[in-house]
Amino acid sequence: MNILDSILGAQGGGATRQLGQQFGLSEDQVSTALATLVPALAAGFNRNMSSSQGLDGLVAALSGGQHQRYVDDASALGRPDTTADGDGILGHIFGSKDVSRQVAARAASQTGLSEGVLKSMLPIVAAMMMGSLSQQLRQPGGRMQSGVATTDGLFGMLAPMLDSNRDGSMVDDVIGMLSRFGNR
């Protein structure tokens, strides 16, 4: 299952409903926002995983963190500590608040949703991605070995989001995403 499907299906759609209530959006609008934000975040995760330090940090966070609560308990999405944790995640994967702002601005232009809403939603979506990655890695048949996430498992969950034009190669898509969001 790719990461977007996992997030959309969290709690039988309860997480999507919670985000809608929290931000005053319909479920369709939340789905549209997620479909736009998740690939950008996946590109950031992928870029971060390309360095050994970034990969080690992600693996350690997934192995030792409590991120799964963000997909197990929809009410956790409205808590201030979720936003704070999500801001920390964004700092790791994008390296700058400017990149996060650019992601929100681009998503707003693609979806017609308010840039302010998307900017506020972005840290929560980042926390949900970590929760979904953690959840999928810990399932039977997941890619957690001896309590440690494997690189192929992480990449396998993010890769479908990175081939946005479905041409079988994500290289052009990742380069395009990263060039639009600037360098760290």
Rounded to whole angstroms, how far apart are CA atoms 38 and 31?
A: 10
Q: What is the pTM of this model?
A: 0.76
**Among 163, 128, 164, 136, CA closest to 7:** 128
**Number of compact structural domains in the chain:** 1
Cα 138 to Cα 143: distance, rounded to the nearest angstrom: 7
Average pLDDT score over residue span 77-105: 91
User: What was the pLDDT predicted at 50?
Assistant: 74
- Give the pLDDT band of residue 101 (cuts 50, 70, 90): very high
- Could you tell me the residue range of the domain that residue 169 belongs to? 3-181
Q: What is the DSSP string of 28-95?
A: HHHHHHHHHHHHHHHHHHHHHHTSHHHHHHHHHHHHH--TTHHHH-GGGGGSHHHHHHHHHHHHHHHS
User: Average pLDDT in the 56-66 region?
Assistant: 73
